Amino acid sequence: MHICVRICLLLLGLHTRAVVARKEKRNVLFIMADDLRTSLGCYGDSLVKSPNIDQLASKGQVFLNAYAQQAVCAPSRTSMLTSRRPDTTRLYDFKSYWRVHSGNYTTLPQYFKSRGYFTMSVGKIFHPGIASNHTDDYPYSWSIPAYHPSSFRYEKEKMCKGEDGKLHANLLCAVNVKEQPGGTLPDLESTDEAVRLLKSRANHDDPFFLAVGFHKPHIPFRIPQEYLSLYPIEQMTLAPDPDVPKLLPPVAYNPWTDVRKRDDVQRLNMSFPYGPVPKDFQLRIRQHYYASVSYMDAQVGRLLGALGDLGLSDSTVVVFTSDHGWSLGEHGEWAKYSNFDVATRVPLIFYVPGVTTPHHGMGESTFPFIDVLTQSELGFKNDKVIRNMVELVDVFPTVSYLAGLRAPKPCPDVSLQEELCTEGDNLAYTFRHRERGEDEEAISFSQYPRPADAPQVNSDLPDLKDIKVMGYSLRSWDYRYTLWLGFNPKTFQVNVSDVHAGELYMLAGDPGQDNNVYSDSDHSAIMRKMTSLPHTVSVQMRMRLQLLYLTAGMKTSGRKAR
């Protein structure tokens, strides 16, 4: 063979291998909702209309029991994006930047950027402000400055037309979009920008990581008014457990102060902190929340439709999740700010081309847009479902591995000096193997700070200096176990001997977590074991040992409900 031909073939082979190697690194479309609980069709909520997210779930892997590490925006997002728990980021409020406050931890997009990805942020990914250094952590995490929709500046302004014809800063705020400034809303703008960025990257050789953060269903419910028609008020129902549980420790209750600040809620003149919301207004809140979910679903549909139309769905991992949930009247609570499942449980869906679904042929749209206003009936059918407990700290190592990168190594017990490691687990193995059944070892941890044992104005979101009690909560298959322990905000130390209150819910017979049986058990022996453990043993591990000890006693006495 002529030497020139051999050289050409060699170069062609090298080029082909390079292309294959490039293709092994999948793009990532990372989608986050804000304050979205598992009120989705694919999570068994028969009332909500979410056909586009359900379509993604039908072609992806769905984790039915995924939990946030703290049910408030900045701590949860920082925890997920660094794969470190709040006790490591030391961020429990909105007023510090982890790189200065705790450690120079590598973030999920920063890790992808360091591996040759072009990283982009649209909307709310990091919490804006001090918590992300007023830059959304640019230039560490992003290749270009993060995009924020200009119309978001009006979210807390008087934009909602009341019955008096005047504009108010209301909680319930369905609007005529054409009458809004610029004729648009934040999530509409974010979707437009995200689609533009997808188009700009469609023909690039280097892979991309595009994070898109939608603002809804976060309050205020400023959404296009047509989405209310999907949820006639006469078809809405109250929460199944709308009263504050009799045995709920006062420290565990959140008085939903941010909701109370809205003009329409203030006019209800409710007593603080337990004053119930009038039933007719409860129905309207639930109606507007569900309508906000459907509005957000439509934007997800536009985004996924563009991904398919651009021929990118066969080379892109899609992740969909939320920063935490939101109470809709359960336990007499509204908003987040608690350790209950309605506040900590979130949707978590992974679509991995060729893994969760076969590759599609050329010209075939993987995710055709479904107009929720005209076509909302779409059943969820998928056997790729994981029921055991997982956590948002698991997202970083999992998406890294699924995209073709090496998952970060597990963190040591003390990791303040470790820039890159994970306090979560790589869930990628679950994509190849069917779940075998109940895993009693699967545990998720959440926590929430309080300034005092009784509800007060700053109970929902205390500043670090005001935190006196930390509620550590462990969720297993059968139980939610919470201890409210003394906390020193200056040293970040927890006093495991200073127990302010406890909660124990046996979920087989009490799925709504309404009947606290903590006081039914003798905890003295358990607490002695807890305080006798070495100082290096984490609170989470101590609680896990306690729960094993406690539930073993329940099983022996025949008290475990099945």
Catalytic residues: 73, 127
Q: Which pair of tokens denotes residue 441?
A: 């070892």
What are the beta bridge partners of residue 281? none
Task: Cite the beta strand spans of 231-353 per DSSP E.
Answer: 316-322, 327-328, 334-335, 345-351
β-pairing, 208-213 vs 27-33, is parallel
% helix, strand, coil for the chain, step of 5: 35, 20, 45
Task: Cite the beta strand spans of 98-220 per DSSP E.
Answer: 118-123, 160-161, 167-168, 172-175, 208-213
β-pairing, 493-506 vs 479-488, is antiparallel
Helix, coil or strand: residue 320: strand
Which DSSP category does 227 fall into?
A: G
Angle at 456 between CA 455 and CA 459, to 5 degrees: 75
Phi then psi dihedrals of residue 332, to 5 deg: 70, 20
For residue 262, the one-letter residue type is R
Distance (Å, whole) CA 459 – CA 249: 13
Taking each continuous run of H as one helix and of E as one strand, the counts in the chain are: 14, 17
Tell me which H or E stretch contains 475. strand 469-475
* CA 494 to mean position of chain CA atoms: 26
β-pairing, 316-322 vs 345-351, is antiparallel
Q: Is 545 exposed, middle or buried (0-12, 13-18, 19+ CB in 10 A)?
A: middle
β-pairing, 385-391 vs 61-67, is parallel
Phi then psi dihedrals of residue 225, to 5 deg: -65, -25
Distance (Å, whole) CA 469 – CA 483: 10
Distance (Å, whole) CA 397 – CA 381: 27
* CA distances (Å), origin 411, targets 92, 393, 418, 421, 494: 20, 12, 8, 5, 21
Distance (Å, whole) CA 110 – CA 561: 46
CB count within 10 Å of CB 372 equals: 22
Distance (Å, whole) CA 427 – CA 397: 8
What are the beta bridge partners of residue 389? 65
